[in-house]
Amino acid sequence: MSRFPLTRGVVDRFVAGEQTIDAVTATRRLADLGLMSTIDHLGEEVRDTGAAVETTKAYVRLLEALRPLGFGDKAEVSVKLSAVGQALDDAMALDHARQICEAARENGSTVTLDMEDHTTVDSTLAILHALRTDFPDTGVAIQSYLFRSEADCRDLRDTRVRLVKGAYKEPSSVAYQKKSEVDRAYVRCLRVLMSGSGYPMVATHDDRLIAIAETLADGRSDYEFQMLYGIRTDKQLALVRSGANVRVYVPYGDDWYGYFMRRLAERPANVAFFLRSLGGK
């Protein structure tokens, strides 16, 4: 879905490819390096039922392609509920997510629900709750920039929770705006999760927060670090060498625009990289 001309190389830095086979190949390569995967079929804010059904089928096809490789929970999937119909009807999104959870379970694997903008949090947590009745290992992302998240972490202390800072532009009525406040909130949430009985997934590229997570873990090994495909690969490998569990978020598919723009917004250096490549350098 090109909205302006982009060289394939630019997008390839952050996206594994367009086809199921590209996601499978990336997962195998990461596994060879000792890295686990959570695979995201790109797309969001689907406005028609047909597209929601197609996304659901794409996840099921992906999980079927992974099945014979026997990765088990080392290759799970990440799902944006807005891509499977949340904006149209919560019941439809739940039904589609359930189909993906079933396919994941056949692989001995599971699903993590991505968290999108703040207007979707209540709905996402309600769908998580419903899914966990049959699929108790289903996880969810929680964003430390939201004021509500520390309380949400307390409610989810027995759950697989991926803690992130948050990637959407949110108003000051609901979210911390300063990086230092978001970071401090991240540590508070992490403290809650590390003292719970769930499975914390520490999703950040921030060295300081990674070090704090290691300290707060205080000897527990049932947690993992997560980073995005193509970002700080050196750090991912260093953590693996140190004995940590590390999972890479692997996006694939042709609807890369929203994902790619959020990655640019996070870091001026990525914009420079992008502009250089447009200039052919």
Residue with token string 């899914």: 131
99 is in an annotated binding site: no
Decide if residue 203 touches ligand FAD (CB under 6 A). Answer: yes
Residues 242-261 that bind ligand FAD (CB under 6 A): 249
Using CB under 6 A as the binding rule, whether residue 166 contacts ligand FAD is answered as: yes
The footprint of ligand FAD on residues 215-244 (CB under 6 A) is 226-228, 231-232
User: Is 115 annotated to bind ligand?
Assistant: yes
Residue 45 CB, nearest approach to ligand FAD (Å)? 14
Q: Is 40 a catalytic residue?
A: no
**Residue 70 or 267 having the CB closest to ligand FAD:** 267
Per rule CB under 6 A, is residue 104 in the interface with ligand FAD? no
Pull the structure tokens for residue 82: 């807005």
253 CB-contact burial (10 Å; exposed 0-12 / middle 13-18 / buried 19+): buried
Give the pair of three-digit tokens for residue 2: 């090109």
Q: Per rule CB under 6 A, is residue 267 in the interface with ligand FAD?
A: yes
- Cα–Cα distance between 140 and 162 in angstroms, integer? 6
- Does 170 participate in binding ligand FAD (rule CB under 6 A)? no
148 known ligand binder: no
Distance from C-alpha of 281 to C-alpha of 279, rounded to nearest angstrom: 6
263 is in an annotated binding site: yes
The contacts of residue 149 (CB under 8 Å, 6+ apart) are: 142, 143, 185, 189
96 binds ligand FAD (CB under 6 A): no
What distance in Å separates the CA atoms of residue 190 and residue 144, rounded to the nearest whole number? 9
By annotation, the residues acting in catalysis are 114, 162
